[in-house]
Structure 1
């Protein structure tokens, strides 16, 4: 089978990888856009995995690099490039319309609160003690220490309705957030 645009021989589908990446959404069929979106999602996952792996290897290299100084520079470079690679994958837009498979066309219409629950979150607080041993002041400076405590919070669940600007498809998704009170 050949690509319908550049006539290059391909194994499956109607477009080669080069044409899938370069063509505009309007020139592609729904199946072709779906194939392109699967390719984008796998590329997104690869960016996250490789970036994470580079950062982990870089951190291990830092500990080894303390002993061997030339390895220290390599470890720093691995951490920086790994973080960049990870962030590219993290911020890459992978939202597609389920109906027409176009990208960057979904717009939130409404956000409805469907549930709210009381909960707690763990947080670190600084605590100052100026008095102990029966109320006597000890020294001129307060004693400070950090302690993890459960802080009251609210967990809110939302149903978000969105619409595709291209085909008019309307769908819903659910999100939740936890907010400290």
Structure 2
């Protein structure tokens, strides 16, 4: 699992990546970081993989913490991966790096992505729209747009208004009620 706010324990960047496999070699840690595009960021740190990470991961930025957590997931190599709001609250450049890392990581395994950003949802093989814990729509991005239901309306509002690609529960609730009429 890679949460929106990944937890990093005190230690080094190498330790943060190897947390799930502490016996991993330095080469395996670097390979995992390279696989998700985190190596360049780590290499730019003054001490590289030996850069200290403060208590609760305070030293790295939010984007750096997510890249390290994605490298950690790559090193562990789970069959199923849960990404919870992996690109939320990031600047656009960092969001692109994290999105590329999640794409690389999820390409070889079953991945469940929790996202409010419609642009994130649009990249998924299957989108499930929930309202109060109930599935109200499910399909590909194209299928949901063609169905002209709540997802389509949210997408249209985003595309026409140029607003941030996020949804709020209230908007989904209103659209579901309106669509049911």
Q: Report TM bin, short chain.
A: under 0.3
Looking at both structures, which has the greater relative contact order when contacts are Cα pairs under 8 Å and sequence separation is at least 6? 2
Point out the structure with max Rg over C-alpha: 1
TM-score, normalised with respect to structure 2: 0.22
TM-score, normalised with respect to structure 1: 0.22
The structure where strand makes up a greater share of residues is 1
The structure where helix makes up a greater share of residues is 2
